[in-house]
Amino acid sequence: MAQQIPITPDARADGPVDEDGTHSVAEDLAYQRHAIVNVVYVGRPGAGDRGWVLIDAGIPGSKDAIVKAAAKRFGDGARPAAIVLTHGHFDHVGVLEDLARDWDAPVWAHPLERPYLDGSAAYPPADPSVGGGLIARLSPLFPRSPVDVSAHLRMLPEDGTVPPMAGWRWLHVPGHAPGQIALWREADRSLIAADAFVTTAQESVYAVATQEPELHGPPKYFTVDWDSAKRSVETLARLEPEIAITGHGRPMRGTALREALHTLAAEFDAVAVPLDGRYVEAPARSEDGSAYRPA
């Protein structure tokens, strides 16, 4: 059974890389990889204090690298207008509490992620039975307890706007997490896709290390609702993005990206959904509370 959709190397959209590992994808859009995950910086270089936005907050231990990259890109001491979270898995909130406190920054997220961000509920257990490599096998060891940024937490408005990000809209793309969002800018068709789809086989240490361009569904070991995950990919494919920055892997652009994304949507059951797994037959969902475990 196919597990990947190859993308030609010319679809890569890494852009120029700085010495701190920050890649410029567009004039006001950059990303930085932290071991297994990406964070995104939205704002023009030199934007200054409160003139930019951080998307997600890396893994534990990534604070210094994020702060230094932000200072270099936007100016010494430049704090973000906000931190916008695509979802609250451990590799996206690793230093969120520290950054929100030190920067006194509001944290915007989808209401269905609130229990994972106010300390009240944990994510469902990871599922190593989905296979795919060492990272999947190790996934039960990954943290799933909530963080608590209650003092800074804000819920995204129902109208789809993102208050600190003019020109961007948020889209609910559940499946990998109940309140996962993607961010979309129609003006240049830029997509920050979170983990709705990724461009590396996140279950495999080798694939994560080599970062070869290929399209995959969401990381299998943490995806708890495969029907919703499929609909989310279909939603994003209909956007026809010009560029996509994903939570894991290299950013991609152009016709090759769009063709691969449509193929993923059409063949999702065969390409993305594991043959076996605890959440294949018994999804964990927000509707019945099964996605929220005692903290």
Which residue from 131, 161, 198 is spatially nearest to 170, judged by alpha carbons? 161
Ramachandran assignment for 35, one of left (phi > 0), alpha (psi -120 to 50 degrees), beta (any other): left
Within 10 angstroms of residue 220's Cβ, the number of other Cβ atoms is 31
CATH code assigned at 189: 3.60.15.10
Q: Give mean pLDDT, residues 116-139.
A: 92
3 state DSSP class of 215:
strand
What is residue 210's predicted lDDT score, i.e. its pLDDT?
A: 57
Tens of pLDDT along 178-219?
Answer: 999 999 999 999 999 999 999 987 666 645 555 667 899 999
What is residue 207's predicted lDDT score, i.e. its pLDDT?
A: 55
Which residue from 143, 281, 272 is spatially nearest to 219, judged by alpha carbons? 272
* Structure token digits, residue 189: 């068709």
What is residue 17's predicted lDDT score, i.e. its pLDDT?
A: 75
Total domain count, the chain: 1
What is residue 135's predicted lDDT score, i.e. its pLDDT?
A: 80
What is residue 20's predicted lDDT score, i.e. its pLDDT?
A: 82
* Among 19-23, 61-65, 73-77, 271-275, the least confident range: 19-23
What is residue 214's predicted lDDT score, i.e. its pLDDT?
A: 83
Tens of pLDDT along 137-168?
Answer: 888 889 999 999 999 999 999 999 999 999 99
Local confidence band at 57 (pLDDT 50, 70, 90 cut-offs):
very high
Within 10 angstroms of residue 282's Cβ, the number of other Cβ atoms is 10
Distance CA 196, CA 81 (A): 25
What is residue 202's predicted lDDT score, i.e. its pLDDT?
A: 65
What is residue 254's predicted lDDT score, i.e. its pLDDT?
A: 94
- For all residues of the chain together, what is the average pLDDT? 92
Enclosing domain of residue 87: 5-294
* 49-76 exposure pattern, b = at least 16 Cβ within 10 A, e = fewer: ebebbbbbbbbeebbebbbebbeebbbe
Q: In what order do the strands lie in the sheet with 53-55?
A: 22-26, 29-34, 37-42, 53-55, 82-84, 107-109, 153-155
pTM value? Answer: 0.94
Element (H, E) at 169: strand 169-172
